[in-house]
Amino acid sequence: MCREASSESEYFQPLSGLCQLPADILLHVITFAASTNNVHPEGLPELIETNNEARFSPDYEIVTLVASTSVCRYWRHLFLETPSLWRSFSAELHPELLKLFLQRSKSSPLHVEVSDGEYIKSKRTTKDSRNSHVLCEPRTERCLSNTESILAEFHRIHFLFIKSSLASTLNSGRPSPRFLRIICSAFETCPKSSSTILQGIAIDSFWPLPSTGQPRSDFTDLVLSRSAWNFSNLRQVHLRLTYVPWNFLQSTSQSLTRLSMSIVLSNQNMLEGLETVLKKHTALDFLALDIEPDYSDESPRPRRCTDAEQILLPSLTKLHLTGYDNENSAVLGMLKLPSLRSICITDRSRLPVSDEDDIRILHQISKLELPFADCLCITFAGPYARFDLKRKRGHDEVAFTYVYAVQDLPSTPTTCIRSSSDILLSQLQHLNLSNVKHLDVQSSTHLDANFVDRLKQLLTNIDSVVVSYGDGSHPGHLNLSMTRSTLGGSPTCPR
């Protein structure tokens, strides 16, 4: 027994040093470990760039935070007297845990996610359709009840994430009617004289169908417009897989600084709606658009803006565009961005529409006054290729990122890489690369022997080249490095 006690003492010995840390440092360490910022306040383009799942708190984060209050009296006092640690949570928590978080957050601004639990039902239905009803109904009821409890604190909500289920919406025709009533009630039961601290709202997979079976394109508008609150503090709006509330965006205050939307450009009116919103919110410093064209629509393609018609966004520093050449080019052509520091374009076209389309969008990029970049990074992975222009000093800052899918060819790595490398070379020749001194190429398989030589012809002031094959951790990984003294010849394998 003494031996066991001794081993336990040795086991907990490192913890005693941690307990002696100053309060501010200890809080920083635990906050980082627990990742308590569960509903991301920045929004960022994850709602657009990835098909991410609902971003509620993983169990280990909740366990870490709650368990930290039981380590010792010092820790318990420290954690209970820091309400900001308890401000982020979702409707999927156990009701007792939710009550605990609401109490311990005191009057802190909240970062919360509310949902109808339908996405849980959808997941479990695919696993076991016979037992899904029995297993999921209590969990769905929990989410709905918790959503009511959370929205009762609407006046404290700093960032609100509304999540429904795309799968459920398509299967049942609409999300839970009770969930819709809860959301609408929360937005309409506040006095007009009050103002809210709400600074960010994100809506994901929220496009219910009415009983007629026809989609209500103004549904999100109707929900948000029910609010009697003054949204003068609203700074961020992020929309994914939902109808765009054009009227709300056009009527809200001119205070938005971050906007991300997944939209369908079905006709000229939709593009005009986007123009109106961007003219309204000239204080934007971040814009992300995921554009899906409606090919069933017989309306003409988006009209190109003249220089005189361009919308000036003087504060915009970061732009993310995801879509096809035509739509990406149309949006980029309507904007005048004197402060742009970083741009990311993801091209879904797979097969380029025409050489003219490639040249148009790259000429638009070359006209942008992007910051000096001295490093070109190229990556070939699967059916995608990507190149980044960066600053190679300290923390690399991306000035320009372009991601595109290769042509539809036989699905072998070699043909995919060969195709994408040819497209890449044809695109790079339209950019001014005279400042680039460093080239970094990463590929999952070997490139054509003359690829680097052809690149060097475009990069007239190149100093160094690094070509990497494989993922770096694989035994077959190969790294070829060259400096100015060896750039005259082709790269050779080091012995």
Q: Tokens 């986007």 belong to which residue?
A: 274
DSSP string computed for 73-105: HHHHHHHHT-GGGG-EEETTS-HHHHHHHHHHT
CA distance 447 to 88: 47
Tokens standing for residue 475: 């035994």
Strands 375-381 and 438-443: parallel
What contacts 415, CB < 8 A, 6 or more positions away? Answer: 409
Q: Tokens 């309409």 belong to which residue?
A: 188
CA distance 469 to 213: 52
Residue 292 phi/psi, 5-degree rounding, is: -120, 115
Residues 12-34 as b or e (16 or more Cβ within 10 Å = b):
eeeeeeeeeeeeeebbeebeeeb
Tokens standing for residue 179: 């969930």
Reduced to 3 states (helix: H, G, I; strand: E, B; else coil), residue 328 is helix
**Whole-structure pTM value:** 0.76
What contacts 38, CB < 8 A, 6 or more positions away? Answer: 55, 56, 57, 61, 88, 89, 90, 111, 113
DSSP string computed for 208-260: ---TTS---TTHHHHHHHT--SB-TT--EEEEEEE---HHHHHHS-TT--EEE
Q: Is the dihedral of CA 71, 75, 79, 85 positive or negative?
A: negative
CA distance 167 to 160: 22
* Contact yes or no for 447/441 (Cβ under 8 A): yes
Q: Which amino acid is at 386?
A: R
CA distance 54 to 165: 9
Structural domains present in the chain: 21-255 (no CATH), 257-340 (no CATH), 371-495 (3.30.420.40)
Reduced to 3 states (helix: H, G, I; strand: E, B; else coil), residue 202 is strand
Residue 289: name the closest of 314, 317, 258, 311 by CA.
Answer: 258
Give, for all 495 residues of the chain, the pLDDT tens digit: 444 444 444 444 455 566 677 888 877 776 666 554 443 333 333 333 333 333 334 454 677 778 878 878 888 888 888 888 888 888 988 899 899 999 999 999 999 999 887 655 544 444 444 444 444 456 678 889 999 999 999 889 999 998 876 544 444 445 677 888 888 888 877 655 556 788 899 988 765 544 444 455 666 777 777 665 667 788 999 988 777 888 888 877 767 999 999 876 665 667 788 888 999 999 999 999 988 776 665 555 555 666 667 899 999 999 998 887 778 888 888 899 988 888 888 877 654 444 555 567 777 777 777 777 788 888 876 666 778 888 776 666 677 777 765 444 445 555 555 666 777 787 787 777 888 888 888 877 777 777 778 888 888 888 888 888 765 444 334 445 555 444 454 443 333
What's the full length of the chain, in residues? 495
DSSP string computed for 135-158: HHHHHHHHHHHHHHHHHTTGGGEE
